[in-house]
Amino acid sequence: MKFLGNVIKYGANVDTDVIIPARYLNTSVKEELAAHCMEDLDPDFRSKVEPGDIIVAGSNFGCGSSREHAPVAIKASGIACVIAPSFARIFYRNSINTGLPIMECAEASAGINDGDQIEIDTDTGAIKDITTGKEYQASAFPAFIGEIISSDGLVGYTKSKLGK
């Protein structure tokens, strides 16, 4: 999938407690979660985010809890993709499973600025910063992960495996 969007940039170790504070986990309705996404880290996130925007962050994005509510809240906020040098492993799984595109690319994380307009291709891993003209290449997903993604997430993969 190709996306063109503006960048919202954050630092390293963005944890699941700031992505969606636990006090809002008495629901799993995605719109309700999106209403509080990032509020303890960036109170302006809700007002500035536009559909198709892309989060570019530092390493270990999504560290902390196993709450799948975190990628769900980000996706429901309209974010098209998260780019970071590395993702915490449960967040990584949860993103694949819930269909939030993620890309691992340390150079892009370092080189792209807040507010830049970037174009990405989640199939090829190509990242182009339209504002600066710089190009980057994200790591490819392992083949098995690609299979899960192309099976419409883990649920689709499991259904076909179980013959349901």
Partner 1 sequence: MGMTMTQKILAMHSGKNECAPGELIEAKLDLLLGNDITTPPAIDIFEKNGFGQVFDKEKIVMVPDHFAPNKDIKSAEQCKRMRDFARFQAIKYYYEQGEEGMGVEHVIIPENGLVKPGDVIIGADSHTCTYGAVGAFSTGVGSTDLACAMAAGTTWFRVPEAIRVELHGKLNPYCSGKDVILYLIGKIGVDGALYDSLEFTGDGVASLSMADRLTICNMAIECGGKNGIFPVDEKTIEYLDARVAGGYTQAPSWLFPDPDAVYEKTVVIELSEIRPMVSFPHLPSNTHAVGTFEKITIDQVVIGSCTNGRLEDMEKAAAILKGRHVADGIRAIILPGSQRVYKQALKEGLLEIFVDAGCVVSAPTCGPCLGGHMGVLAKGEKCVSTTNRNFVGRMGHKESEVYLAGVEVAAASAVLGYIGSPEEL
Binding site for partner 1 (CB under 8 A): 13, 15, 17-18, 21-23, 25-28, 40-41, 59-60, 63-69, 86, 88-90, 93-94, 97-98, 142, 144-145, 148, 153-155, 157-159, 161-162, 164
Q: Quick one: 132 or 160, whose CB is closer to partner 1?
A: 160
Q: Quick one: 18 or 82, whose CB is closer to partner 1?
A: 18
Q: What are phi and psi of 2, to 5 degrees?
A: -105, 140
Partnered with residue 61 across adjacent β-strands are: 87
H/E element, 147: helix 143-150
CB of 35 to partner 1, least distance (A): 14
Q: Quick one: 126 or 154, whose CB is closer to partner 1?
A: 154
Alpha-carbon distance 117 to 138, whole Å? 17
CB of 131 to partner 1, least distance (A): 29
H/E element, 54: strand 54-56
Alpha-carbon distance 89 to 92, whole Å? 5
